[in-house]
Amino acid sequence: MAVSKSFLVSSKLETLLSNPNDPSSSPAPLIRIPTCPMNNNGSRRGLIQRARCEISSSKAASVSALEQLKTSAIDRYTKERSSIVVIGLNIHTAPVEMREKLAIPEAEWPRAITELCNLNHIEEAAVLSTCNRMEIYVLALSQHRGVKEVTEWMSKTSGIPVSDLCHHRFVMYDKDVTQHLFQVSAGLDSLVLGEGQILAQVKQVVNLGQGVNGFGRHISGLFKKAITAGKRARTETNIAAGAVSVSSAAVELALMKLPAHASSSSARMLVVGAGKMGKLVIKHLVAKGCTKMVVVNRSEERVVAIRQEMPPGVEIVYKPFDEMLTCAGEADVVFTSTASESPLFLKEHVESLPPVADGRLFVDISVPRNVDSCVGELDSARVYNVDDLKEVVAANKEDRAKKAMEAQGIIAEESKQFEAWRDSLETVPTIKKLREYCERTRAGLVERFMSKHGDGMDKKTWKAVEDLTRSVVNKILHGPMQHLRCDGSDSRTLKETLENMQALNRMYGLDVELLEDKIRVKVEQK
């Protein structure tokens, strides 16, 4: 029976996984054998039964089952390894209007991981969502289909058309993903070189991903190694020396835009929001010489805590949110950094405020934005958001390039170590399956022997037979296992090791079992 090469295994995955609990939704089999129906007791058991049924039924064909597997599209999922992919939009590729629609709060990251892993071709996932970037990291069974599914998911959750996402997104695979994330963690991809907040955010991905089904070995390993790379880059190159965070850049931008007669000590400062970013703004203002400011927040407790951390002589005045517009009318500079999903300052609000010399300055470092874009149309206001911080960064290009080059050497070293670790995982499923196959064979033969010749055999002799047969199996497996090693301990290349793995898969019929495991995992995720 010939195999249709045009029939893709991914079709099977898509149809089955769209409704794993409904046996009626079962797709056509890998090998077209109509006499092997889906098991009505459940999709997972049915899948395994079908795969085995297909093999047994095809034995009668002129082409062996293994040859059919070898020449069919099943090879895509057993010979090719899954790819690590990042699909993202950041400050370099997409405007803030698009990024704020894509933003996912930290509390929603575990839910997003679960939803992403429910997609047909996604095995593992992680979300890195900050004010400057929205990046989805996945382990995909298929590069093309994985990217397509994630992009459609991003469109569905944000309301942005797929065509617009495709225009602004960037996509990377495998080694390029590793290098990109390590650069992000080291602060090399940030607006401000070496900013420390991004490393903390990468750590948070790991913290929130622990225990989440879908934050698996490959993706979690990638992020953990990124943390190591980021720490090394900062420690060994002093890349963070003199560098600032987004909040620090916001303060520098505000001071650059002050009128000539004003200074950090004389300008009236208002900070809306006393969260992490707001607290950093306050600290940077104090570091620049500001000794008095008003802080608007929903609760006074946070403001009191921040006040206690300030040096003597710094006056921080707390005001509740219902007095925000009044406070803004008395300020020269307004910083906003809240988690509000709708603008706090609308055009009509700002238009009614008393004017100040050279226009009131709004520095909005929130995503979504706290200051409506229409406010910038007023002559009485000057509005800046996170995209405008590029002006601050431009002043230190030469030093940034020098430190970045030093950090790149560390990133290359850490990337090589991660890729070697990931390569070492490639042959693990085959090693496991080959051992299971040999153990099943050994145990079956021993049981058959004992049923015929074991009467009257004492326990010591029985144990000796078990030990002897296990020793024989281990001796026979020693050579194949040595040729499946992929840990850099010998001169064998990854290509040679993978060829050995594929040969063993074919010889012992492990291809279908490996595919069953992949499908089983997807069904369990569903």
What DSSP designation does 311 have? P
CB neighbours (10 Å) of residue 395? 11
Q: How far apart are CA 163 and CA 217, in angstroms?
A: 32
Phi, psi (rounded to 5 degrees) for 90: -140, -175
Q: What are phi and psi of 284, to 5 degrees?
A: -70, -35
Closest listed residue to residue 17, CA positions, set 93, 122, 98, 91: 122
With H, G, I as helix, E, B as strand and everything else as coil, classify residue 217: helix
Are 245 and 337 in contact by the 8 Å Cβ rule? The answer is: no
Q: Which helix (H) or strand (E) holds 250?
A: helix 246-257
On whether the CB atoms of residues 378 and 89 are closer than 8 A, the answer is no
Q: In whole angstroms, what is the distance from residue 410 CA to residue 98 CA?
A: 33
Burial letters for 255-287: b for 16+ Cβ neighbours within 10 Å, e otherwise? bebbeeebebeebbbbbbbbeebbbbbbbbbbe
Distance CA 275, CA 297 (A): 9
Could you give the dihedral angle defined by the CA atoms of residues 478, 481, 483 and 488, in that order, rounded to the nearest 10 degrees?
Answer: -120
Sheet containing 122-129: give its strands across.
122-129, 133-140, 83-90, 170-173
Work out the number of other CB atoms within 10 angstroms of the CB of residue 152: 13
Contact 2, 58 (CB under 8 A): no
> Would you call the peptide bond into 105 cis, given omega within 30 degrees of 0 as the criterion?
no
CA 504 to chain centre: 33
Are 282 and 256 within 8 A, CB to CB?
no
What is the maximum alpha-carbon separation in the chain? 106
Active site residues: 131
| Amino acid code (one letter) for 479 | G
User: Residue 396 carries which DSSP code?
Assistant: G
Q: Taking the CB of residue 472, how many other CB atoms lie within 10 A of it?
A: 12
Report the candidate in 521, 430, 524 with the shortest Cα–Cα distance to residue 123: 521
As a residue count, the chain comes to: 526
Of 395, 398, 361, 365, the C-alpha closest to 378 is: 361
Asked whether the beta carbons of 302 and 274 are under 8 A apart, the reply is: yes
Which strands, in side-by-side order, build the sheet including 333-336? 315-319, 292-296, 269-272, 333-336, 360-364, 381-384
